Structure 1
Amino acid sequence: MFWLAFAPLARDATAAAMREVVADIQARSTGDERIELYIALLVMAAIDPWGHDLRRELVMLVDDVDDVETEKKLLRSIPAIGEMIAEAERQAARQAAQQAAEQAAQRAAQQTAKAIAELLGRLFARRVGRVPTVEEERSIVERAEAIGPVLVEDALLDLEGDALLRWLAEPIRR
């Protein structure tokens, strides 16, 4: 078992190979022995002569084992390893926050676009006397995206029935 700790030093060390090593350590060792092997594994990954940068992968793997709480507490008590685990957690939190913000912005943009399309569709219906067809609605939305909703609103208010239909049928001038 001791020799497994040197796996990160191998020229062909990969994340997949490290998953197998961690699984082997977990299956074939006891609690204290396992912690010592994990520590040695992480120390060897820090040496990293081939530039594999397996430390983060190993921290995540060790974080995913079955006896998580006991092993996490022991690993966190070692300053260097505790800092690596904390950094991985901070990075995961930053990524989650960024993803949530991007999703919220995307939802807001979709809601805004939908509201603008509904408003412009109602203006069209008042000017022409009917609900816009799918093609006309698409043209209204494309124009709002291309030239801005204010100019499309102006056209919907200023142009009469047939002139408005011709304007929507024309190619969009940007």
Structure 2
Amino acid sequence: MAPPPARRARLTRDPFVVLWLVFAPLARNATAAALREVVAEIHAGAATAEERAELYTALLVMATIDPWGHNLRKELIKMVEDKEEGLLRRTPIIGEMIIEAEQRGEDRGEQRAIAELLGRLFARRIGRRPTVEEERSIVERARTMGPGEVEDALLDLEGEALVRWLAAPIRSS
């Protein structure tokens, strides 16, 4: 993926070669190690910080496309941030994209924790794990009503009453 070390010095002087490096994440054999070399090539070959930011932005866009399912975007962000401290976060569109992705990850993690905790409580009360639909209802009710309200229902309602409560439409407060 990256050029051999002997040719590397010559290639980084050519701006078109540096530009083509942004397509590396689209390679079938893209790896974190190969992308680390690409980040180093862009760092060494781009003429200015602004040019580097544009190339890194393009590299991240290509990593987001990710036709082979490599999921290297998060590692790539870390690599660039390690090389160019804060550069991506200072780049408006990419900074927003990173913050949004982090927030989605936190939200998913929080929802997963709530689902697991309340799902275990459901299992103890009913004697089985909740179905996908019941779990979805638990999470949605925890989001709209608050986890404490759902926990109270899971503790107070018995068997079929609890299942019916989860299946019923959520009443708005």
Q: TM-score, normalised by structure 2?
A: 0.47
TM-score by structure 1 length?
Answer: 0.47
Of structures 1 and 2, the larger Rg is shown by 1
